Chains A and B, each alone.
Chain A
Amino acid sequence: MSAVTPRAMGQALDRLEGADKVRGLAPYAFEHPVPHPAYLSAVRSTVATGEIVGIDCSQASAQPGVLAVLTHLNAPRLGTDDGELRILQSGDVAFRGQFVGGVIAETSEIARHAAGLVRVEYRERPHDVDLESSRERGQLRVPQQTMALFPMDIDKGDVDSALASAAVQVDCTYRTAWYNHNPLEPHTTIARWTSDGLTLHVSTQHPRGVQTTVATAFRLEPDQVRVFSPHVGGAFGSKGPRHSDVILAVMAAQLVPDRPVRFALTRHEMFTQTGYRTPTIQRVRLGADTDGRLTAVSHESIEQTSRLKEFAEHATRATPTVYATPHLRTRQQLAALDLPTPVIMRAPGECPGMYALESAMDELAIACGLDPVELRLRNEPDTHPLDGLPFSSRNLSACLREGARRFGWESRDPTPRARRRDGWLVGTGMAATTYPTLRLPGSKVTIRVTPDGRHTVLMAAVDIGTGTRTALTQVAADALRVDLAQVELRLGDTAYPPAAPEGGSAGITSWGATICEGADELRRRLAADHGGTVPAEGLEVTVDMPENPHLKQYAMHAFGAQFAEVRVREETGEIRVPRQLGVYAVGRVVNPKTARSQLIGGMTMGLSMALHEASLLDPRYGHVVNHDLATYHVSSNADVGTVEAYWIEEDDPYVNPMGTKGIGEIGIVGAAAAIANAVHHATGVRIRELPITLDKLLPYA
């Protein structure tokens, strides 16, 4: 692995497709022009669990413009065993809102109207959707290692003894809410069957994944399925794993041969069909000596999954990495409920987990009479606390110090509820943040060069709106040692070599490392076979993502420090966050402009998590009642104050040839804890359940 010399990398560039997006010339999946499209609207179950005992499509079918009605009675048998995707395979209903049919019509309006005319009769069964009562009844299980990038259950040393004998102890339980991703662009598909197979336009984080999933489900060869995904309007993880919307669209298209079928989920459906972040109940126990040095850490998380498929949010994933401790335990437990299946959402695991851990660390700092920044500095490990590996680079201390300096932390009086300004209580808080430097397998790249020096780079990666297309072009230019203008990067088409999913903040790392390998291979081939000159017919290489020989030698993680100022109106409990500041150590920053957007976007999403977002489940019905953007509150512009993101220079020669660590997720991690800690500093009240809404502060005001 040879390091790439940065020339294009490090430049703050506008998105290459930015002008097209502003002009509406960059088509998203649903907008792709297709001849004579038909439209699909879904029929959803109105019971949480049960069985369909009657279904009457006559009124729907009779509507002028209706082309076909899809139910479990005429749906094809699927070749997948993925419980979430196995829709319309029987009359069974596994959660309220599950797809039980669909109407295909000449217009989306007709389809939607007719979908409402499909009469479905159910034999209802009692349902169980309540995480808290599952916990009380002891109906929890240990998850399989569904996100087994790291072990979920960890035992190091003797935690119980160490906790019992610790001079200072913290034992608190924190709760995070149910969150829905709500990217601006809904999940959309255009499906068209032809004699050759299937063509799909899908809003996805993983075109290759859609290709293989659909091929398996519909018993096709992968090369019979072509997936286009040139532009994606946000995802946050909800478009990573496949959901049943793609399956329904492909089923629908089978019923209307030669007609492309367009399907866009409604915002309402986005709350049931596309996954969500599970609520968590996390107990954190910390033991420390009187100097604040941790002697024991215990972090247990309880979450939910569905009965269809297991997904475990690995909320304790970051815990072994952050602080030195001789005794450590992590646990996850799951309740399987009659609900939709949760899924990855921006920093799955780290986001809820670090809220709990970093809230507990704030409580420990107070218990020890220590400054929270100093407490964290005192618990810096020399090597990875679990496996003893050296860090490829670790600059949490530098981020803490730089953040404290920029934020003006030094002058902070730790006394809670001691500052008032114009009727507002003022406080500040901080938290550490971390995210692993991941690389996801499964990427290849093809690079072509022509005698005019132009390079074409092909891979079925995607840009979900983050700026990947631009940053990856910068990587490619430097890897190929040419100017940006000589590189054309083509993404979002399964005709190109497969690429790992967009996720885990690993896009640039995985895809970029593959491109670097391709560039090396191109140079080798040019030198070995062509005397260093591009032949007239051009030259093409295709390579796999290379192994990283350092993976087993180093622990690879990004770190950072989050700071926040909070104001709480004393008489009403209203909360404002005038300032957030983060300092990050994330390796090389490829494009400072789009990277900053990712970091401040993550911090803003953390603000939204701290104060606003919560999907409210009604256990009687079994569904989220606030299933629109008027009632599911995401922070508005007026809620967002000054958001500053900085990074320190960090040269990491081990992570990959670019020296990148990933920047898509770390900004949300710890952001909610910094705000919750600031709320405590402002008010003296510790709210251990998100979101922190004014009613939780009001009784104390």
Chain B
Amino acid sequence: MRPFRYERATDPSSAVALLARSPQAAFLGGGTNLVDLMKLDVARPELLVDVRGVTSRAIEELPDGGVRIGAGVSNSDLAADPLIRRRYPVVAQAVLTGASTQLRNLATVGGNLLQRTRCVYFQDVSTACNKREPGAGCSAIEGHNRDLAILGVSPDCIATHPSDLAVALAAMDAMVRTIGPDGSRTIPLTELHRLPGSEPQHDNVLTHGELITAVDLPPLAFAGRSYYRKIRDRASYAFALVSVAAAIDLADGQVRDVRIALGGVAHKPWRATRAEDLLRGGPATEDRLRRAAEAELADAQPQADNAFKIPLARNAIVRTVLDLVEVAR
């Protein structure tokens, strides 16, 4: 671990200003990923700006019926919040499938969204990784890639985004509120993270010094019946091989609306818009679900070890939505 400076910000704009002045600075939330990466020499910030005291730790109802989650809210508090559990159970479920109680107590909502891939080559500085060192090459493509991406991959990177929360938020059309050197903005969660392309070093679209202040969940009546299904190599404390966040709105047996997002398959939480489009306006039958899932996965580009994710994701989509349909009946 390299020596670094530590400062505690007093308010969001001073945190942003501190970071903007120092190109090698990073915000510190719960530190559950960043500090690990510093120990591994993957992250090398010269300055940590602790933002735990400056971002909101509140979960508030919005006038339009939505909910605003402060970026400083701990993962544990988010999962336990009655409003979230009632209106967006998929969000609480997703959080509870991640990490451990101890980690969730420390980890923040903002930090959760900005955690980095757990690709073993990214986390080991003695191996080549384009995300860590652009142009160095990708060790994973010819290496151990069982956990890695099948959708939206590039010849430079097949990393997955590890967050469960982000998958649920993507399904809910959450909006991410930030403040940065150029002012405040709101970014749809589905556009926060990016695909690797030729610049896998950029996980997301935030600029240096841009701080997440809150996440807004828009009102979505049918989200009250939503579900997060995570499939992994052990029953707890493992990242998703495939996960599905889903919600469905049925009227007279027809799909009026549906939300499906996938985790563990791409460099970003993967909103399954193609499957959603195919499902709307028809019955939620197993056959239709299967065809919609297959369409969503039609462009998958598996590696040597992870082709199983295609049938796994297909089956997971079908089962998760069917279970929701069953409950609705």
Give A contacts to B, CB under 8 Å: 46, 109, 112-113, 116, 423, 571-574, 576, 611-612, 616, 618, 620-621, 623, 625-628, 630-631, 633, 635-639, 693-695, 698-699, 701
Q: Does B234 contact A (CB under 8 A)?
A: yes
Given contacts A631-B120, A639-B236, contact A112 B144 (CB under 8 A): no
Would you call B236 and A572 a contact (CB within 8 A)?
no
Interface string of B196-240 (1 = CB under 8 A from A): 000000000000000000000000000000000001011111100
On chain B, the number of residues with a Cβ less than 8 Å from chain A's Cβ atoms is 31
Chain B proximity of A267: nearest CB distance (Å) = 10
Q: Distance (Å) between the CB of A490 and the closest chain B CB?
A: 37
Out of A109, A116, A574, name the residue touching B231 (CB < 8 Å).
Answer: A574
Q: Does B2 contact A (CB under 8 A)?
A: yes
In whole angstroms, how far apart are the Cα atoms of A698 and B237 in the complex?
A: 21
> Does B315 contact A639, Cβ atoms closer than 8 Å?
no
Extra inter-chain contacts (6) besides given A573-B312, A576-B235, A627-B124, CB under 8 Å: A112-B1, A618-B127, A620-B139, A633-B233, A638-B235, A695-B308
Contacts of A628 in B (CB 8 A): 123
Q: Is the CB of B238 within 8 A of A633?
A: yes
Shortest CB distance B106–A (Å): 15
A625 close to B315 (CB less than 8 A) = no
Interface centre among B121, B139, B311, B316 (most CB of A within 10 A): B311
The reply to whether B41 and A116 form a contact with Cβ atoms under 8 Å apart is yes
**Residues of B at under 8 Å CB distance from A?**
1-3, 41, 118, 120-121, 123-124, 126-127, 139, 142-144, 146, 231, 233-238, 241, 308, 311-312, 315-316, 318-319
* A636 with B236, Cβ < 8 A, contacts A572-B312, A574-B231 known: yes
From A576, A620, A626, A699, contact of B142 by CB (8 A): A620
Complex partner residue of A637 from B236, B312, B318, CB under 8 angstroms? B236
A393: min CB distance to chain B, Å? 38
Q: Are B126 and A572 in contact (CB under 8 A)?
A: no
Residues from chain B with Cβ under 8 Å of A627 in the complex: 124
Contacts A109-B1, A113-B2; is A695 near B236 (CB within 8 Å)? no
A699 touches B308 (CB 8 A): yes
Partner among A621, A631, A693, A701 whose Cβ is within 8 Å of the Cβ of B126: A621
- Asked whether A626 lies within 8 Å of B236 as measured between CB atoms, the reply is no
Q: Which of B3, B126, B236 contacts A113 (CB 8 A)?
A: B3
In the bound assembly, the distance between CA atoms of A173 and B296 in angstroms comes to 39
Cα(A182)–Cα(B120), bound, Å: 18
Q: Does the CB pair B143–A618 fall under 8 Å?
A: yes
Q: Is the CB of B143 within 8 A of A620?
A: yes
B121 to A, closest residue via Cβ: A625
> Which of B126, B238, B312 lies in contact with A698, CB distance below 8 A?
B312
Contacts of B315 in A (CB 8 A): 571-572, 701
Q: Which 8 A-B pairs have the closest CB atoms?
A: A638-B236, A638-B235, A695-B308, A571-B315, A636-B236, A625-B120, A639-B235, A46-B126
Complex Cα distance A112/B234, Å?
33
12 contacts between A and B (CB under 8 A): A46-B126, A423-B319, A618-B139, A621-B127, A625-B124, A633-B233, A635-B234, A637-B236, A638-B235, A694-B231, A694-B308, A699-B308
- Measured CA separation A101–B277 after assembly (Å): 60
Task: Say whether, besides A113-B3, A621-B127, A631-B118, A639 and B143 are in contact (CB < 8 Å).
Answer: no
Q: Which residues of A contact B146 (CB under 8 A)?
A: 695
Closest chain B residue, CB of each to CB of A691: B233
With both chains docked as a complex, state the minimum distance between the C-beta of A216 and any C-beta of chain B, in angstroms. 33
Please report the C-alpha to C-alpha distance between residue A307 and residue B290 in the assembled complex, in whole angstroms: 53
- Shortest CB-to-CB span from B307 to chain A, Å, is 9
Residues on A with C-beta less than 8 A from B308 are 694-695, 698-699
Task: Give Cα A572–Cα B320 distance, bound, in whole angstroms.
Answer: 12
**Is B316 a contact of A572 with CB atoms below 8 Å?**
yes
Across the interface, do B118 and A633 meet the contact criterion of CB distance under 8 Å? Answer: no
Closest Cβ of chain A to B3, distance in Å, is: 7
Q: How far is the CA of A611 from the CA of B232 in the complex (A)?
A: 12
For residue B236, which residues in chain A have a CB less than 8 angstroms away from its CB?
636-639
Among A571, A623, A635, A693, max chain B CB count under 10 A is at A571
Q: Which residue of B lies closest to A630 (CB)?
A: B118
Inside 8 A of A626's CB, which chain B residues have their CB? 120, 144
- How far is the CB of A369 from the nearest CB of chain B, in Å? 34
Q: Are B127 and A616 interface neighbours, CB within 8 A?
A: no
Q: Which of chain B's residues have a CB closer than 8 A to the CB of A637?
A: 236
The verdict on A638 contacting B124 (CB below 8 Å), with A572-B312, A616-B144 known, is: no
